[in-house]
Amino acid sequence: MKILNKSVLFLILCLYLAILTKLILFKYIPLSEIHQFNFTSNQYFWRSNNFVPFKTIYFYLFLADLNTGIKIENLVGNVIGFAPFGFILPLLSKKFLNLKSITLATLSLSLTFEVLQLVFEFGSFDVDDLILNTLGGILGYIPIRVYYFFKRPKKKRK
């Protein structure tokens, strides 16, 4: 039964990562065009990178004259998008049952996406995405940590 649960969780993780990849790397490319995507064409490429921490977050919170929905999508969407990663990973492996491991794993996944966007120019590198995505992984991890905290056996009193 435990192997079946891990297999199902692994498949869910793979599906989640595929969807996350589509949403981050191929956001503006229709699914029907991904298989024939031409990296030499610059139809979907752009460059608008941010290497200053909290610049984009501050802009959306205080400066941007944008619809609230767009602000929420850009800020909260990054957090929510990575919460499942922080939730699923500790269920798959006990190596990720501590905050440091889940933080590093989420940061690494987010950094991979950001660097791919920077290198291939079909998105923009934003250090604030790293911050928000990592926060999302940590927030997804919290319910698992709480569960294991209450699940552990209580010490017998003498």
Where along the chain do its domains lie?
50-151
Task: Provide the whole-model pTM.
Answer: 0.86
**For the residues of the chain, what is the DSSP string, one character each?**
-HHHHHHHHHHHHHHHHHHHHHHHHSTTS-HHHHTT--TT--TT-B---B-STTHHHHIIIII----HHHHHHHHHHHHHHHHHHHHHHHHH-GGG-SHHHHHHHHHHHHHHHHHHHHHH-BS--BHHHHHHHHHHHHHHHHHHHHHHHHHSPPPPP-
Per-residue pLDDT reduced to its tens digit, 117-155: 999 887 889 999 999 999 999 999 999 999 988 987 776
Per-residue confidence (pLDDT) for residue 29, from 0 to 100: 75
What mean pLDDT, rounded, does the chain reach?
88
Per-residue pLDDT reduced to its tens digit, 35-69: 665 555 555 455 689 999 999 999 999 988 888 88
Per-residue confidence (pLDDT) for residue 55, from 0 to 100: 95
